[in-house]
Structure 1
Amino acid sequence: MTLALTRDELAAALGRAGAGDRSAFKTVYEATSAKLLGVCLRILGDRQLAEDVLQDTYLTVWRKAGDFDPARASPITWLATIARNRSIDRLRSAGARMVAAPVEVLESRADEGPLASDAVEADQEAARLQVCLNELEDRTRNAIRTAFFDGMTYEQLAEREGTPLGTMKSWIRRGLLRLRSCLER
């Protein structure tokens, strides 16, 4: 069951979880596990592996929830970043042994889509993000989209673009700083 929480409610629950509140952690899990499993599945392509990484993700969340700062990122962005990074780490450690499962395997999965109110809020946030992304130069915008929406590593991006790894990291870091500044306006 997916629990619907507002951004502020989720941030508060993360804060309480950071103080060791198990009930608040359960609330965070119920509200976000379906979305984070989707992040892991998209990157890993294997449900069992994605579920394992999801467990690692929530172990990290339990240990680091006290570090969450709602002034720096939305709760779901913070959580999705942890899930993304854990998934990429698992891909790196698995190397060539990874075999992606066909998309058809997911056809029998129940729809865990958001409530209408969550969809409206997400659409508004997505529209704001799109406006801010469009303010970035093309190469930075494309690098950020590919890294965060397609799960490509910085190393893969640097190789694809024929640029040094440090340069790619700088493009993305500066772009994310400009995005944050734009989104805070």
Structure 2
Amino acid sequence: MTNVLVLVGSLRAGSINRKLAEAAEQHAPEGIALSTYDAITDLPFYNEDIDGETPPAAAVAFREALAAADAVLLVTPEYNGTIPAVLKNALDWASRPFGASPISGKPLAVIGSAFGQYGGVWAHDDARKVAGIAGAKVLEDVKVAIPQSVVRFAETHPREDDEVVSLVQDALRALADAASEPVAA
């Protein structure tokens, strides 16, 4: 079983990206289990001064969840041309401690949807960049950016869109494949 930790960059309860994460969870291929980690909202803004011998409990819990996962899936909209602050902050916490972070070497893919015609590609590119610098093994070739989300999903949940389900399943299979690859010494 490949355990994938899902981080959603939108805090809205009715968010299309949250619904996209639900679709991924509902339609995960056999052998892949997803767990959405909603407690990124509990993380304080990253501050090295509070990340010492006794980091905040929310950071400890988050890092433990990351460490227990085989792979990470970021599901994010685009806010003002980039990633939402809550997701950037989570990646900052994930990147520490430097050299021994729980995200280091972990396969990670980015998917999402946005209102615009490009589906959030700038945010996805930025998320891949940040995650790579944080140490994740970013799957650069996994690109699922669903445009015009407000129109496309006005009457349909992403889990009911066969094209979206297929794209998400392909992304999850790529994560599972990457998670099963031996780690280079």
TM-score higher than 0.5: no
Q: Which is strand-richer, 1 or 2?
A: 2
Give the TM-score range, shorter chain. Answer: under 0.3
Q: Which is helix-richer, 1 or 2?
A: 1
TM-score (norm. length: structure 1): 0.26
Flag the structure with larger Rg: 1
